[in-house]
Amino acid sequence: MTTDTISPYTMEEAPTSVGRVLLARALAHWCAVHHGLGPDEVAAALDPGGTASPSDQAQVRFAARLLGELVAREEIHSWSRPFGGGPPDDVPATYWELDDYRERFARSAFDPDRPFDRDAPSTHWIFLELADFNRVLELSCADVVPERRPARSAAAGTAVGAEDRDAARASRAEDRHIRMPEIVRRTGMSASTVYRRIGEGRFPKQIPMERGNIASWWESEVAEWIANPR
């Protein structure tokens, strides 16, 4: 099996690069936040023979085009790194002058010597600058994410205002990251339901990506939601 036949959306251990996020992880994170789609659903939407609904396909294609165009306009910097490891190298913005972004996002890889040859076997992973991606994601969320209802205190059953919530979270030293298997166990929801609720503004959002790794959540925010599900 070649690297091109393995979906980067379903890999347990995706390639990493310090300060950067794998292209597939960036698209999956974007689609989870904006459309409530899980990585498997994004992979299916990018697969010409997949079983994704027309709605999911349209949402993922739109997200891929949006991110691709942001990279082409140099609002998000992109990098390549050889399979098996090696120093990252800049990907010129002109390499993103594409009519269809689906295949590049589906592979999350390409051959930088033949960037427009769809039949060329991939040799390098593609990464996005993490700071650039998080900045664009934060700006987009300011416009599309519904305002959250006030959380409620599990002990007192009273509303917790924004100032109280911020004070409670001022120190994250005692908080911890939890990942999807624990979310599923604690809430009784499937992973796809969790992602869908995130897209609807009905479940805590993932922690901003710090190392381009698998999504995680603050335990305190999940506990707040369990005390007052919505």
Per residue in 104-136, pLDDT tens? 999 999 999 999 998 999 999 999 999 999 888
Q: How many CA atoms lie within 13 A of 230 on its CB side?
A: 19
Domain edge (last residue) among 135, 165, 185: 135
Domain edge (last residue) among 135, 163, 178: 135
- Report the domain count for the chain: 2
Domain edge (last residue) among 135, 155, 178: 135
Q: Per residue in 154-209, pLDDT tens?
A: 333 334 444 544 544 444 556 777 878 788 888 888 877 888 888 888 888 887 76
Q: Is the pTM of this model over 0.75?
A: no
CA 82-83-86 angle, to 5 degrees, is 45
161 within domain boundaries = yes
- Answer whether residue 64 shows pLDDT above 90: yes
Which tokens hold the place of 132? 């650039």
140 within domain boundaries = no
142 within domain boundaries = no
* Minimum mean pLDDT range among 16-20, 21-25, 201-205: 201-205
Q: Quick one: average pLDDT of 129-149?
A: 69
* Minimum mean pLDDT range among 44-48, 84-88, 92-96, 181-185: 181-185
214 and 100 housed in the same domain? no
DSSP 17: B
